[in-house]
Amino acid sequence: MENDPEWINHKYFRTYKIADTLTRFARGSSTAIDMEDFHVNEGILQMIPPWQKDTLVHKLAKVVADEIFLSDTDGPYVTIYDPENGFQPKRYLPIDLALQGYGIEHTPFEVPPPDGKVVRVARNMTTWQESAKVANACYDYFVEDLRDSYAYEDLLSRMADEVFHVIFRDRVTMRGLNSYFSMHIEEISRNLEMQEVEIKEIFTKRGSLKRKSIPRWVKRAVYFREYGRCAFCGLDVSGLLDALPNEQFDHIVPLANYGLNDLSNIQLLCKPCNQNKSDSHSDTSDRYRRWYRSP
């Protein structure tokens, strides 16, 4: 069943391409994602409210997907031969095929007929280069007709769910993404007098985000990701789950270090490992349990 809150139907439309982009960005590739519009449009402030189910990973996945769809307006376009019209070719943007693939009701845009020229790209190689006329028509359709539609937002949300499902297990990527935004949270905290009252109330006097009780759904997601074991040492803490205080669901990037109250920023630790981890040090483990024992 589509949109079931307990299950996800993977369509895998560019899921791994987006996941790879987020992973490279988390590991320091500043060019992996164009964050300019995100910052200009107060995207950082969207991250601050605690424990959103539309997590940091979801929001970034939507940014990447939108970048890709925008670049698609320059081509190449997808050609489909219509058997009901004498197999005459029709061209479409990948976004319209994605909407169709996810079963989202939408009238597709037919890309104008080819208009351009053959250009030489190497001594013995040529390629077809579309004119700006076609690209402009596709751009106008995407920006003016589609980008603000419910259908487009629905598609981005479903794609983001898939990306989150694929990379949430990767704690190192979670740390990288949260570390990037912690720098901007610190910057915002230095200029709190310029923010709205509701934003100011989320911060402590020293400028970090206030600690908020971790919801059950966050604990449950992290607990099952870690198989009920400490992310650092692998100790089985499953029998102690109900007795664990919130602190043992640890912020990967600590609040003291301007970390977020976000599912992507939480890991499960045993008491000794949690006590040994500094309150001001971002740390996690790249150690993961196998699906089955190796030979």
The reply to whether 87 falls in a domain is no
Give me 233's structure tokens.
């040492």
Give, to the nearest 10 degrees, the angle between helix 150-167 and helix 15-26.
Answer: 60
295 residues of the chain, pLDDT tens digit each: 556 778 888 999 999 999 999 999 999 887 778 877 777 667 788 888 999 999 999 999 999 999 999 999 998 899 988 777 667 888 999 999 999 999 999 999 999 988 888 888 888 898 877 788 999 999 999 999 999 999 999 999 999 999 999 999 999 999 999 999 998 888 888 877 767 777 778 888 888 999 999 999 999 999 999 998 999 998 888 875 555 455 589 999 999 999 999 999 999 998 889 888 877 688 899 988 888 887 7
Tell me which residue range forms the domain holding 214: 196-288
Give the CA-trace dihedral at 59, 65, 70, 76, to 10 degrees: 180
Q: Nearest 5 degrees, angle CA 59-CA 62-CA 67?
A: 130
The reply to whether 213 falls in a domain is yes
Residues 6+ apart with CB under 8 A from 104: 151, 154, 155
Question: Both ends of the chain: CA-CA distance in Å?
Answer: 38
Structural domain count, the chain:
1
The reply to whether 272 falls in a domain is yes
The reply to whether 271 falls in a domain is yes
Establish whether the linkage from the previous residue to 83 is cis, with ω within 30° of 0.
no
Radius of gyration of the chain from Cα atoms?
A: 23
The reply to whether 276 falls in a domain is yes
The reply to whether 249 falls in a domain is yes
Output the pTM of the full model: 0.89
The reply to whether 246 falls in a domain is yes
The reply to whether 98 falls in a domain is no
